[in-house]
Amino acid sequence: MVKILEDNKIYFDFSCEPGRFLKEGDNLVSDWRGAPESHYRMSYNNRCKPGDSRVWEIPVGTSKGKYLYFEKSNMAELEKITLDLKERSVENRGDLVVSVLSHTYEYESPETIRGIEEKLLLLKKYGTFINLNELEKFLS
């Protein structure tokens, strides 16, 4: 799969949920066991391992089995996750890059729009949002 991404000039993937393993019946839904909790170049042989491909995995932020999912997390949970990520980032000299999972269709009412604005402000309290151009510069 990594080679297909490269061949199509797709150099960033944001689908990793480190440690997540989910099956529905006999069907595998997600298996990110063993994946790093910060950015890494994907291996050609194992998407959960660092390697030498041109594809960067930017995993969803995680702490103690909880993820930076806006829809599934309340403010207290998000604060615990982001505080832990901030502490780990300081330990790693600021070298921690993660993504946030959110779906735009979840935010259509004024109440849910206020909710996402509050969650974004909370994340900005502990970290910085960057765009793809800034990410490319950071990784080079």
Domain extent listing, the chain: 1-59, 63-140
* Residues 84, 63 contacting (CB under 8 angstroms): yes
| pLDDT (0 to 100) of residue 140 | 86
| CA dist., res. 19 & res. 48, Å (int) | 10
pLDDT tens over the chain, length 140 residues: 899 999 999 999 999 999 999 999 999 999 999 999 999 999 999 999 999 999 999 999 999 989 999 888 899 999 999 999 998 888 877 778 899 988 888 888 899 889 889 999 999 998 889 999 999 998 88
Residue 45 phi, psi dihedral angles, 5° rounding:
-95, -20
Tokens 């990110």 locate to: 32
Prediction pTM value: 0.86
The torsion defined by the Cα of 50, 53, 54 and 60, in degrees rounded to 10, comes to -30
| pLDDT (0 to 100) of residue 108 | 86
| pLDDT (0 to 100) of residue 124 | 92
Query: Reduced to 3 states, what is the DSSP secondary structure of residue 21?
Result: strand
* Residues 72, 106 contacting (CB under 8 angstroms): no
Per DSSP, which regions of 1-140 are E strands?
12-13, 21-24, 27-31, 40-41, 56-57, 62-63, 66-67
CA atoms within 13 A on the CB side of 43: 10
